[in-house]
Amino acid sequence: MKIYFDGCNHTSAEYLNYRYKIDDWKEKRWSKILANKLGGEEYNFASAGSSNQRILRNITVNHNICDYDLAVIQMSFADRTEFFHNDNYIHVSPKKVFKFFMDGYGDEEILRFWKLYYENIHSKQYEEAYEVMIKKSIKAICKSNNVPLVLMTNCWRKEESYDLLISHKKYGRITPEDRHPRLESQTIIADDIYNFINITSVL
């Protein structure tokens, strides 16, 4: 069984490396633990700072979902987006352009543009509409290709329903400032998804 994973740092779990100094952090993250429990192969395409736009681009442009037997996708914060620059897609959020993805580590004109964008153009209504559009697109793509889907989020809105919520309120946080799930929570997250799959007969 080949399992497709995508999401932001809650799914990539890159923070396990720089927060806990774990060399084999990919073996400790919940996606690997879940893949092992299901007897499958883990294909984790998640990235720290990822937007929902990137997740949709991945599943429609970069990867063929037909190659997989199960998709486990964690949608990210709706106010994030991305843009193409210097042959790379750059993650963007209201707080920052993720400069470590940029050649030359930043461009003041670009940073100024995104600051003005979030201050004067972006709106809550816009981001919520795009969240719904992307969510429905992911579900339709998986359904049309007969790929079972577990669709999760780390930022629950009461207007939208998801299969599971990966939040610091449920799984704890590393520090008061860092809301990523703790190392010991990785197994619990994997168990919760595994139980959901069995209870709902996703597979």
What is the model's pLDDT at position 170? 87
CA angle 158, 160, 166 (to 5 degrees): 80
The per-residue pLDDT for 106 is: 62
Residue 154: count other Cβ atoms within 10 Å of its Cβ.
23
Catalogue all structural domains in the chain, each as residue range(s) with its CATH number. Answer: 2-78+146-200 (3.40.50.1110)
Give CA 165 to chain center in angstroms. Answer: 12
Q: What is the pLDDT of residue 86?
A: 82
Closest CA to 51 of 83, 99, 16, 15: 83
Gap between the Cα atoms of 163 and 183, Å rounded: 22
Nearest CA to 26 among 4, 8, 11, 48?
11
What is the structure's pLDDT at 110? 85
Per-residue pLDDT of the chain (203 residues; tens, 9 = 90+): 999 999 999 999 999 998 898 899 999 999 999 999 999 999 999 999 999 999 999 999 999 999 999 999 999 999 999 999 888 898 999 987 766 555 555 677 888 888 899 999 999 999 999 999 999 999 999 999 999 999 999 987 766 889 999 988 889 888 888 889 999 999 999 999 999 999 999 98
pTM for the structure as a whole: 0.93
Residue 104: predicted pLDDT = 57
**Parallel, antiparallel or unpaired: strands 41-44 and 149-153:** unpaired
